[in-house]
A = this chain, B = another copy of it.
Amino acid sequence: MSNKRIVIIGGTACGPKAAARARRCDPAAKITIIEQRNNLSTATCGLPYYISGVIKGEGALVARQTDYFRDVMDMDVMVQTRAAAVHPREHKVDVINLTTNGRASLDYDKLVLATGCTPIVPDWKGKGLNGIFTLSNIPDAGAIRDHLTGSGAKDVVIVGAGLIGMEMAEAFVARGLRVTVVEAMDRVLPALLDFEMAAHLEKHLKAKGVKIICGQPVSGFTGDNGKNVRKVITRDKEIEASLVLLSLGVRPDASLGKAAGLTTGATGGLAVDEHLRTSDPDIYAGGDCVELVNLITGKKTLVPLGSTANKHGRVIGTNVTGGSETFKGVLGTAIAKVFNYNVGRVGLTESQAREAGYQVTTSLVPTFEHATYYPGARDIFVKLVAEKSSGKLLGGQAIGTGDTAKRIDVLAAALTFGAGVDDLADIDLAYAPPYNSAMDPLHNAANVIRNKQSGLGRSLTPVEVKKKIEAGERFTLLDVRSPAEWKAQRIPAGQVKLIPLPELRKRLGELNREEEIVTFCRTSIRAYQAQRILDGAGFKNVKFLDGSLEGWPFETESGAPA
């Protein structure tokens, strides 16, 4: 115990958590929290649901009242107060009371920077127009709600198809608005999903009435009399808008630390060691303002999330009171509810893995969350990415109406320990028909990669097959489903030939042994079986279509064949 003076700047997640932990570790410390807005401990992750109306009232977003920090935690709480400058040598923080404009200087023995992040707003023409918003705190959410109520806005344009953009698309649709999402990259959630996964989400968004425009960088906005926003200008288009939400990501708010001479990394975040100590031994930092280690690549990264901020708070609270805890890094785990889809990612996507220089093997498994003979099984679609040579897992994605969160979290646990596909395939996951199939989708996804590693399975991706079709290549796209399935949905291509799997062994003579054959079915199970039958019959150039028809992101046709 001590009379150590601990000053914490920032009251959203990491700050209050660090304060509470410090108090529990050191009952005698003098702890002060400084927060520029009205409340500590706010659930900013709930903002989209507050705007949609799913969460009623701002009050629900305040996890702990200020009184709690004063009466129970015995802290000084300075709300509506801004930290203006840190003086590391003097161990002082200058603060300004935003209500009275009064200035003061606080002494500290240990300082905690939990200054969060700020939304990215590019210097686009017209960005100051009325009706253009970002969303990162309760006042932002209030302003959006007020604008919607006050202006009668009907056309919303979301710029940026990241996590907030996707969650807000649902929120705005829930409020009865016409929603367009504009994204500069070629797909939605580009940091979380590879193309074929994103394509499925895009279909779902469209089915919910959201207009998606990808590959269109925004250049600015125009308004009426230069006052209220009316149009979003992209490279090729002008899109009507009476409200614009900019969701282009965030930047760590490291300005206070930087001005005080603390080291920042190439990412722009404050640099901290495993103990979350900055370059000054008496200053710790955590939450969205610091850079993190990506546990897969070992490189520095920014992943601003409340989950990490809370873990940071505990580590910092321990360390500023004389204890020793560490935080090793993150996996980039992320999840979002996007209408009826549960969309998750952990580790690296295939694109990110290739950019990081890995040779990869992947699997695409469209399946169900639990045994299909038990009612109510919802679909999930899993993509697994592993290092080609070693089989070490690099990441996974899961989307669908079913329980993807469980699979993402199991992968997160496995990736934490450097698991390979062999390990994953054997994890003793809980099985009963209401919860899973005897083989979890992750087991299957790992086994598909193992089959490819051993040479038993060979596949092409949907994008690769689509290219061959479009190039008019000579090859056979062998559909091994039943005639009824064929009638209901087909890949429209001249290369397609139907031989139902049960007839395949008898109808080998109908296939050209000299030509490449790509088998497909609904999910790839029969397609892989067909590949093995053809291999066994001496065919030399057979592959299956990864994910088959369920994984096919391109157009299909149905009804009687032309």
Residues of chain B within 8 A (CB-CB) of A403 are 405-406
Q: Tell me the A34-63 residues at the B interface (CB within 8 Å).
A: 43, 45-46, 49, 54-55, 60-61, 63
Residues of chain B within 8 A (CB-CB) of A308 are 428
Of residues A410, A425, A434, A438, which shows the largest number of chain B Cβ atoms within 10 Å of its Cβ? A438
> Could you name 19 residue pairs across A and B whose Cβ atoms are closer than 8 Å?
A45-B438, A55-B374, A55-B375, A71-B502, A71-B505, A306-B431, A307-B436, A309-B438, A332-B428, A333-B431, A334-B430, A336-B432, A344-B430, A410-B412, A410-B413, A412-B427, A413-B427, A416-B417, A416-B426
B311 lies within 8 A of A443 (CB):
yes
In Å, the complex CA distance between A54 and B370 comes to: 15
In Å, the complex CA distance between A167 and B434 comes to: 11
Q: A309-B438, A447-B314 are in contact. Are A430 and B333 (CB under 8 A)?
A: yes
Q: Tell me the A396-436 residues at the B interface (CB within 8 Å).
A: 403, 405-406, 408-410, 412-414, 416-417, 419, 423, 425-436
**For the complex, is A371 an interface residue (Cβ under 8 Å from B)?**
yes
Residues of chain B within 8 A (CB-CB) of A501 are 72
How far, in Å, is A545 (CB) from chain B's closest CB?
Answer: 17
Residues of chain B within 8 A (CB-CB) of A28 are 536
Q: A336-B432, A432-B335, A438-B45 are in contact. Are A416 and B423 (CB under 8 A)?
A: yes
A373 lies within 8 A of B60 (CB):
yes
**For the complex, is A330 an interface residue (Cβ under 8 Å from B)?**
yes
**For the complex, is A473 an interface residue (Cβ under 8 Å from B)?**
no
| CB 8 Å contact bits of A293-337 with B (1 = contact, 0 = none) | 001000000000111111100100000000100011111111111
A46 lies within 8 A of B373 (CB):
yes
Give which listed residue, B55, B428, B529, contacts A72 with CB less than 8 A.
B529
Give which listed residue, B60, B334, B413, contacts A413 with CB less than 8 A.
B413
Question: CB-nearest residue of chain B relative to A315?
Answer: B426
Of residues A63, A72, A327, which shows the largest number of chain B Cβ atoms within 10 Å of its Cβ? A72
Residues of chain B within 8 A (CB-CB) of A535 are 27
**For the complex, is A532 an interface residue (Cβ under 8 Å from B)?**
yes
B307 lies within 8 A of A49 (CB):
no
Spell out A's residues near B (CB within 8 Å): 1, 13, 23-25, 27-28, 43, 45-46, 49, 54-55, 60-61, 63, 67-68, 71-74, 167, 295, 305-311, 314, 323, 327-337, 342, 344, 346, 371, 373-375, 403, 405-406, 408-410, 412-414, 416-417, 419, 423, 425-436, 438-440, 443, 447, 454, 456, 501-502, 504-505, 528-529, 532-533, 535-537
Q: A67-B502, A68-B502, A505-B74 are in contact. Are A430 and B410 (CB under 8 A)?
A: no
- Oligomer copy total: 2
B432 lies within 8 A of A45 (CB):
yes
How far, in Å, is A166 (CB) from chain B's closest CB?
Answer: 11
B430 lies within 8 A of A24 (CB):
no
How far, in Å, is A148 (CB) from chain B's closest CB?
Answer: 21
A431 lies within 8 A of B307 (CB):
yes
How far, in Å, is A550 (CB) from chain B's closest CB?
Answer: 19
**Additional A-B contact list (4), CB under 8 Å, known A49-B433, A412-B427:** A27-B532, A307-B436, A307-B438, A416-B417
Residues of chain B within 8 A (CB-CB) of A328 are 426
Of residues A61, A337, A413, A430, which shows the largest number of chain B Cβ atoms within 10 Å of its Cβ? A430
Residues of chain B within 8 A (CB-CB) of A375 are 54-55
Q: A306-B431, A536-B27 are in contact. Are A425 and B311 (CB under 8 A)?
A: yes
Residues of chain B within 8 A (CB-CB) of A447 are 314
A27 lies within 8 A of B533 (CB):
yes
Q: A373-B55, A438-B45 are in contact. Are A430 and B346 (CB under 8 A)?
A: yes
In Å, the complex CA distance between A73 and B525 comes to: 13
In order of increasing CB-CB distance, the 4 nearest A-B pairs are A27-B536, A413-B413, A417-B417, A307-B431
A337 lies within 8 A of B416 (CB):
no
Q: A46-B373, A54-B374, A438-B306 are in contact. Are A409 and B426 (CB under 8 A)?
A: no
Residues of chain B within 8 A (CB-CB) of A67 are 502
In Å, the complex CA distance between A233 and B61 comes to: 57
Residues of chain B within 8 A (CB-CB) of A406 are 403, 405-406, 409
B24 lies within 8 A of A532 (CB):
yes
Residues of chain B within 8 A (CB-CB) of A533 are 27, 72
Question: CB-nearest residue of chain B relative to A345?
Answer: B430
In Å, the complex CA distance between A323 and B55 comes to: 56
How far, in Å, is A362 (CB) from chain B's closest CB?
Answer: 20
Residues of chain B within 8 A (CB-CB) of A332 are 428
In Å, the complex CA distance between A306 and B346 comes to: 28
Give which listed residue, B45, B68, B439, contacts A431 with CB less than 8 A.
B45
Q: A428-B333, A430-B405 are in contact. Are A43 and B371 (CB under 8 A)?
A: yes
B502 lies within 8 A of A72 (CB):
yes
Question: CB-nearest residue of chain B relative to A447?
Answer: B314
A405 lies within 8 A of B436 (CB):
yes
Residues of chain B within 8 A (CB-CB) of A408 are 430
Residues of chain B within 8 A (CB-CB) of A337 are 432, 434-435
Of residues A431, A533, A535, which shows the largest number of chain B Cβ atoms within 10 Å of its Cβ? A431
